[in-house]
Amino acid sequence: MSASSPSDLEQSRRPWWRRVLSTPLIWAALCLALTLPWTLNERGMDVVPFILTLIGGWLLGVAFVNWTLRMQPVRRGVIVHVGVAAVATAVMIVGVEGGGALIRALPEVLRGPVVMGQLALIPAICWTLLGVLSRVTSLARRPSRNPRTVPEWVEDRTGVTVTFHAVPMRLRTLYGWGIALAALVAVVISIPIVNDAVPRWATQSPMVFFAGAVIVAIPPYLVFRAVCARLTRSVLLRFTSRGLTLTEDGVSVQIPLSRVTRLVWSASGESARVEIQAPGANRSLLVSVARHGRGTLAQLPPLRARTASWLAEAGIAEAGIVEAGLVPVEHTGSRAKRAPARVFERVFE
């Protein structure tokens, strides 16, 4: 079997539209840009721009929290996350309570965008604080003497095995839950505004909307966590030189490596997961939202070099068409340093 050429690796990279769809910062910029026609015409509090502003702000918060979760070492991400959350919250309070005079001093054309920018920061800071709450909850659950550990590989002469907990869910479903939560908060808050049912004192302080967003967001967030806990499964995944065995709650499926067309192994972060694509066996197991036992982190161990070599050697030849093994998808620029996911795809020679 011949070695994969640079052109093969280039073809195996994820399409640009997939990278766009999975980048919250791009969607945040799009949502906020769409509000400009209303904002510049002093109609920023209409239903459509109001909801777009809240969703765009929420996506900014998602992008920031995701960035801190990818930081290494983990301690640095925690420090940046907590520090920015504290500073942003303080700036928001000061700006809302004493920034009226500053806004009135601005040119009229800038007043609307600045006010809408403040409004967008409310869900962004709300999501950032929820992320801090999640980190604090994780620390509170940590045993006093035994540190939380990542699941480990168990190696023998024929293969490697790892056991973990996961929820059968695709990453886009997780993002869909997030978008639905943001939309729900936006709709619930916009109803009294549209019906002129908001007290005058409340309209003068966007912090009221911030508190309302938190109150509205917490119940559905807890429902989502409860659903994930109920759907959590015990998973055993074993790799050998010829195939893999996936066992979910005692039900096993064996898949030859030669039939696997794509494998995603994301070890940490909000996207920690395993994705396996093969004829008749497409599975996506999300680790980050699963309910884990005490002392266990919501992570996966790094993929073994031995396993990667087995994937590279899993080529087949049928009907005159030669399929090479699964090759790693290469990322260019700084994205490769930030993204914890390892993606393997099959190429044709």
pLDDT tens figures, 280-292: 888 999 998 898 8
The pLDDT tens digits for 201-225 are: 555 556 666 677 777 888 888 888 8
**Dihedral sign from CA coordinates of 10, 13, 14, 16:** negative
For 125, other C-beta atoms within 10 Å of its C-beta total 24
Q: Which of the pair, 114 or 253, is modelled with greater confidence? A: 253
* Residue-level pLDDT at 332: 45
β-strand partners of 328:
344
Tell me the CA distances in angstroms from 16 to 19, 23, 112, 277, 280, one per residue in order. Answer: 5, 11, 34, 20, 27
Tell me the CA distances in angstroms from 60 to 123, 127, 182, one per residue in order. Answer: 9, 9, 12
* Residue-level pLDDT at 141: 54
Mutual orientation of helices 24-34 and 47-69 as an angle, nearest 10°? 160
The pLDDT tens digits for 6-53 are: 333 333 455 666 666 778 888 888 888 888 888 777 776 777 888 888
143 pLDDT more than 60 = no
